[in-house]
């Protein structure tokens, strides 16, 4: 109960520390794989495809395509990385390496593990997003200095995905469910949540679907900051949806983690 009221318990920080110790050995491969793909997308879409899009001048306000797509990719790369981290590595800690089992024999409890690993996902999302932001600035793809706020937006979006997925992971007996989750959930979202083109271009019946997914809101928020086109009402709605997903994920995770680990 105590850790539910104060998620950032000392024990959850101890678990975060464990993750950092492991990361000391793996950070290079992590950054390499975490940044390569979004960077390729940035070059292929923003610069390659962008030439054709810009020629048509079809984006609202004549925004260059690179400027349009870069802040969105900032959010989606954080989201995809976090979604993956909430799936396979958590499964390993529960079932394969059983490092959770080892920690549970100490004062650390199930909820400390949940919050500790969620903080760890947030930290890595911050790291990736800061690096990605640097690339965007170097490419001159941000119109407004508000783009720095796209980093917390990316982290919040990452958590809005990671928390529910962690809750889901704790209910799984293997990684079969993750393949379905990514094939039918994460990848379609990546393509159809307004990252590469406005969702207004989607068939009408699909648009409401985009509104209820957290990625659309993260992408829209990040883009409005980068382009310097922030409007208060839209911002509030976007934030509210992201926070709601995070809260729902935390609530579910508290139940599924305890059910899985306290048997």
Partner 1 sequence: MTDTLATPTALIHASGLTKRFGAFTAVDAVDFDVAPGEAFGFLGPNGAGKTSTMRMIGTVSPLTAGTLRVFGLDAAHDGARIRARIGVVPQADTLDSELSVLENLLVYGRYFDLSWAEARRRAIELLDFVQLSERAGDKVEPLSGGMKRRLVIARALINEPSLLLLDEPTTGLDPQARHLVWDRLYRLKARGVTLVLTTHYMDEAEQLCDRLVVMDKAHIVAEGSPRSLIERYVTREVLELRFREVEGNPGEGDYLDGRLDGLAERIEQLPDRLLVYTADGEAAAAAAYERGLRPSSVLVRRSSLEDVFLRLTGRSLVE
Applying CB under 8 A, among 22, 244, 247, 255 the residue interacting with partner 1 is: 22
| 11 belongs to the binding site for partner 1 (CB under 8 A) | yes
The structure tokens 């990625």 sit at 215
- Binding to partner 1 by CB under 8 A, coded x per residue (else -) over 23-42, reads --xx----------------
**Cα–Cα distance, 43 to 40 (Å, whole number):** 5
| 17 belongs to the binding site for partner 1 (CB under 8 A) | yes
Applying CB under 8 A, among 97, 140, 145, 247 the residue interacting with partner 1 is: 97
- DSSP alpha helix (H) spans, the chain: 2-5, 10-41, 50-56, 65-85, 88-91, 99-104, 110-138, 150-169, 176-181, 187-192, 207-212, 214-227, 232-261
**Cα–Cα distance, 244 to 202 (Å, whole number):** 25
Q: How many residues bind partner 1 (CB under 8 A)?
A: 24
Q: With respect to partner 1, which residue has the nearer C-beta, 25 or 55?
A: 25
Minimal distance, residue 102 CB to partner 1, in Å: 4
Buried b (16+ CB within 10 A) or exposed e, 114-130: bbbbbbbbbebbbbbbe
Applying CB under 8 A, among 14, 143, 229, 234 the residue interacting with partner 1 is: 14
Specify the stretch interacting with partner 1 by CB under 8 A; choose among 106-114, 157-165, 183-191, 231-239: 106-114
Interacting residues toward partner 1 by CB under 8 A: 10-11, 14-15, 17-18, 21-22, 25-26, 97-99, 101-109, 262-263
């Amino acid at each position: 109960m105590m850790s539910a009221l104060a998620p950032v318990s000392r024990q959850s920080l101890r678990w975060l520390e464990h993750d950092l110790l492991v990361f000391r050995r793996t950070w290079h491969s992590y950054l390499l794989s975490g940044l390569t793909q979004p960077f390729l997308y940035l070059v292929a879409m923003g610069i390659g495809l962008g030439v054709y899009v810009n020629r048509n001048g079809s984006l609202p306000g004549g925004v260059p395509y690179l400027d349009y797509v870069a802040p969105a990719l900032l959010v989606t790369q954080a989201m995809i990385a976090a979604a993956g981290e909430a799936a396979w590595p958590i499964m390993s800690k529960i079932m394969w390496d059983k490092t959770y089992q080892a920690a549970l024999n100490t004062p650390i409890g199930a909820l400390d593990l949940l919050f500790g690993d969620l903080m760890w996902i947030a930290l890595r999302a911050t790291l990736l997003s800061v690096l990605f932001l640097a690339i965007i600035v170097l490419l001159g793809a941000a119109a407004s200095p508000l783009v720095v706020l796209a980093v917390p937006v990316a982290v919040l979006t990452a958590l809005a995905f990671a928390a529910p997925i962690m809750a889901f992971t704790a209910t799984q007996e293997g990684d079969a469910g993750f393949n379905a989750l990514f094939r039918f959930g994460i990848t379609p979202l990546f393509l159809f949540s307004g990252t590469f083109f406005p969702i207004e271009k989607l068939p009408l019946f699909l648009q409401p679907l985009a509104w209820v997914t957290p990625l659309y809101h993260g992408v829209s928020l990040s883009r409005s900051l980068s382009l310097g086109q922030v409007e208060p009402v839209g911002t509030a709605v976007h934030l509210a949806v992201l926070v709601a997903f995070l809260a729902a994920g935390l609530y579910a995770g508290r139940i599924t983690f305890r059910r899985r680990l306290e048997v």
